Copies of this chain bind each other. A is one copy, B any other.
Amino acid sequence: MGERNLYLSNTPVEEAVSIYTDALKDIIKVSYETIPVTGALNRTTKSAVYAKYSSPMFNAAAMDGIAVISAHTDGAAETNPIDLAIGEDYKIVDTGDPIDPPFDAVIMAEDLIDLGNGKVRIIASAAPWEHIRPIGEDIIAGEMILPSNHLIRPIDIGVLLSAGILDVEVIRKPTVAIFPTGTEIIEPTETPKAGDIIESNSRMFENMVAVEGGEAHRFPPVEDNYNKIKEKVEAASQEYDMVIVNAGSSAGTEDYTVHVLRELGTVLVHGVAIKPGKPVILAIVNGKPVIGLPGYPVSAYIGFKNFVSPVLAMYLNREAEKKDTIDAIISRRIVSSLKHKEYVRVKIGRVGEKIVAAPLARGAGAAMSLVRADGFCVIEQSSEGVESGELVKVELYRSLEEIEHTLVSVGSHDLIMDIVSDMMPNIYKNMYLSSTHVGSMGGLMALMRGEAHIAPIHLLDEETGEYNISYIKRMFKEKMALIRGVGRVQGFLVKKGNPLGIRSFDDIKKCRYVNRQRGAGTRILFDYKLKENNMNPDEINGYGLEMTTHMAVAALVQSESADVGMGIQSAAKVMGLDFIPVGLEQYDFAIPQKYLELDYIKAFISILKSDAFKEKLEELGGYTHDNIGDVICL
């Protein structure tokens, strides 16, 4: 076997962070630069800033009107009006005009009676300094206007300029060199060949650095070559404040990063008890932090948040940002190992009184789980996991307000759920659809536990051959309803042109099949049809290969990893496959009657009934939509 350094350490996250930040404490020096105030938004002041000028810089009229000599107005009253002459007794002033002696008060224009010929009549006296903004009322020269270590906002820029400050000394942005590495990676602009991986982590890092106040410099990919990686890291550690190497941070045959960093400097941690994200390297080279992050997108993201962000915060003299957390009920059991702290991505919604967190795909490669996530449920290393229904802390990545306005759907997957969730907030301001996919039975279970508003299902009653209604009636005690969805043609997805000539269940015996997971409506239909054809699972090669969505099945067939799978026509169409119809099934929405009056349920139903939605169904193909959106109380 090739050269491998199999064993990463398994340092707990907090320990790894403190080992690293302790080592960096004396190395990282916050540095400063002087920049024009006009470009200082979101920068942090070095020291307190003192006003150069007062504002106003002179005694100024606070109103539009006339400047008067207050003594000349003494005694004015409705019963004793006093007439004033321009020049002698008053001059006209607008707000902000300077008031100089002998004038010492302003009377508002609204309180004057214009007599013509430069004469005005007043019926109330003016007190000295009335309606005058004295010099320095707002800002006094010499006064502290911004404290040190202050994040500059638009209003601060206005005040600094008013106070005569043109330049301000701020914390310099830390510069971060980002090196994507790997012989198999290609730039997104290249056309991928078999085995190529499109490099995208570095672009995510680049933007994360910018959001957190640093200045990223992303380099082109470096191949897996010890000397090339060494040369790049050594040069960058001299020129930049920080270096990120991605990936090659693990212990595989081509993972050179840790060896390079050991030669160039000190590796403080290699391997952290975190999932996803274990193969992290925390090193110091030429007095600069150099961090190796794993290549899986979720690992890369979580590694950045846990290890890069605290170092950026040190350079910026701030605390690393903390996300708001809320308590939520976890909708599924999560088993986690004592070997690591785990970051589980979750969808969040409010159902009745409960805030519910539904776990998304846990794999390190599941970047889409990050895109879809409303937050992270963090399972501490000391925990073996959480039971379904347990209260968990969730770090929120979406506002609580949005979550309060979200229809929570848990159940079977169909492409139409993506379409409705896209249409909903665009048609109904501030209403959202969150859709998690656990199969039809899983959806009904979630409804029963009060963790969803609706469950999209397509469950065949093997006795009656009918869909959905008998399941709902059998399982629920509370009053339920069914919102009519779509009829879907289910069938075999096969390679374009159907090279193996698959027509019937008998034909699939000779092929590599790809199955759906237990509880999925498509799986139930497949099992039902197997029985109908007097076949049993042993005869199906690939029965054990379970995918959780129609699209995933289609993708495996499209890539020739399987010859046939069962699914819906729209998946075949999107992936360019042929489709052999097997039957029509009904995809509906189970809902407790008590939720029918919710605003977003009404919105959901009216989208289903809309012409725009029906047009999209026609475009996708393979759907019928008779009675769509009708509500049947059971």
Give the B-binding residues of A (Cβ under 8 A): 1-2, 4, 6, 37-38, 41, 48, 53-59, 62, 64, 92, 94-98, 109-110, 114, 120, 127-129, 133-149, 153-162, 164, 166, 184, 188-189, 192, 194-201, 203-208, 210-211, 250-255, 295-297, 301, 319, 322, 363, 365-368, 370-371, 401, 415, 418-419, 421-422, 425-426, 429-430, 542, 544-545, 547, 549, 551-552, 554-556, 558-559, 561, 574-575
Contacts and interface: CB of A to CB of B under 8 A. Distances in A.
A147 B206 CA distance: 23
A419 B208 CA distance: 35
B544 A98 contact: no
B166 A134 contact: no
Stoichiometry, as copies per complex, reads: 2
Contacts of A133: 363, 365
A322 B402 CA distance: 12
Contact of A194 (B58, B207, B210, B418): B58
Given A162-B297, A426-B148, A4 B156 contact: no
Given A144-B418, A144-B422, A149-B425, 15 more contacts: A6-B110, A55-B367, A57-B198, A59-B559, A95-B296, A135-B559, A136-B555, A141-B575, A143-B551, A143-B574, A144-B415, A147-B421, A155-B371, A161-B188, A162-B297
A41 B211 contact: yes
Contacts of A48: 418, 422
Contact of A319 (B363, B429, B554, B555): B429
B366 A198 contact: no
B556 A98 contact: no
Given A140-B551, A366-B137, A575-B141, A158 B200 contact: yes
B57 A552 contact: no
A19 to B, nearest CB: 20
B561 A367 contact: no
A430 B415 CA distance: 47
Contacts of A110: 6
Given A56-B365, A135-B556, A145 B371 contact: yes
A337 to B, nearest CB: 14
A50 B552 CA distance: 15
A371 B135 contact: no
Given A135-B556, A295-B96, A575 B142 contact: yes
A132 to B, nearest CB: 9
Contacts of A154: 204-208, 211
A595 B12 CA distance: 38
A566 B64 CA distance: 32
B203 A189 contact: no
A24 to B, nearest CB: 16
Nearest to A561: B59
Contact of A301 (B155, B197, B198, B250): B155
Contacts of A319: 429-430
Nearest to A154: B207
A125 to B, nearest CB: 13
A260 to B, nearest CB: 17
Contacts of A160: 200
Contact of A92 (B1, B255, B544): B1
A340 to B, nearest CB: 15
17 contacts: A59-B559, A134-B552, A135-B555, A136-B556, A139-B367, A143-B551, A144-B422, A145-B371, A148-B422, A154-B206, A154-B207, A155-B367, A155-B370, A158-B204, A158-B367, A161-B200, A162-B198
B64 A554 contact: no
B159 A188 contact: no
A201 B155 CA distance: 9
A139 B253 contact: no
Contacts of A547: 134
Nearest to A147: B422
Task: Rank and list the top 6 A-B pairs by shortest CB-CB distance, nearest first.
Answer: A136-B555, A158-B204, A142-B574, A154-B207, A161-B200, A94-B252
A96 B197 contact: yes
Given A58-B559, A196-B57, A426-B148, A157 B203 contact: yes
A195 B98 contact: yes
Given A2-B92, A4-B64, A48-B422, A367 B251 contact: no
A390 to B, nearest CB: 26
Contacts of A161: 188, 198-200, 203
Contact of A197 (B56, B134, B425, B558): B56
Nearest to A557: B135
Contacts of A368: 138-139, 145, 159
